[in-house]
Amino acid sequence: MRGHHVLAIGRSLEKLAKLATSKDSQQLMTIAKDVFALTKADLADSDVIVDAFASSPDQAYLHVDLATKLIAMFRGAKQRLVFILGAGSLKTGEDHHLFVHDMEQNPKVQAIIEVPRNQFAELTFLRTVKNVDWVGVSPSINFHPGAATELLLGKDELLFNEKGVSETSAGTMAVAILNEIEKPQHQKERFTVADR
């Protein structure tokens, strides 16, 4: 956690308990609460709020709902908001089309397609927000558990490493977010990170 004091919020007492036993747990506090029940007072002492919300595909619209809630809560406030977005809103190909359009053509992705569609809608909404300090970050195609690697950084284009692989480990994502929190490089925009 690189010296940061972290407040983890989640509905699952079991998952929060696992976090509390991690090696960095002395810098970790937890709140067991549905994110939609949070108040500004719950987050008043936080300098940065990271939205790492996940939903089932049938409730993918909640990505947009949570973003609008957090933006409304922190309009004109000092807190910085970090939104973890999906790869679907990144551009790819010679024509720079949205990757979500490729996903829509893949039968294997149909069961979850509403998640990238709604994360793109979330980014579209965020881009209209001018009076909140926000930043978005998107992983590559394959976002998976794992340790951090060297970072590849970009803005709106899907990234591929030298082997032609587009993937981001959770560790790499965490390092990119911590780097951005400690030394902000992006204001009211999205960037993307991949494993080198």
3-state secondary structure the chain: CCCCCEEEEECCHHHHHHHHCCCCHHHEEEEECCHHHCCHHHHCCCCEEEECCCCCHHHCCHHHHHHHHHHHHCCCCCCEEEEECCHHHCEECCCCEEHHHHHHCCHHHCCCCHHHHHHHHHHHHHCCCCCCEEEEEECCCEEECCCCCCEEEECCECCCCCCCCCEEEHHHHHHHHHHHHHCCCCCCEEEEEEEC
pLDDT, tens only, 28-80: 888 889 999 999 999 999 999 999 999 999 999 999 999 999 999 999 999 99
Q: Which residues pair with 80 in a beta bridge?
A: 48, 133
Q: Is the pLDDT of residue 96 over 70?
A: yes
Beta carbons of 143 and 44 less than 8 angstroms apart: no
Return the pLDDT at 27: 74
Beta strands 189-195 and 151-154 are: antiparallel
Residues 113-169 have pLDDT tens digits of 999 999 999 999 999 999 999 999 999 999 999 999 999 999 999 999 999 999 999
CB 48 within 8 A of CB 80: yes
CATH of domain 34-195: 3.40.50.720
57 near 114, Cβ under 8 Å?
Answer: yes
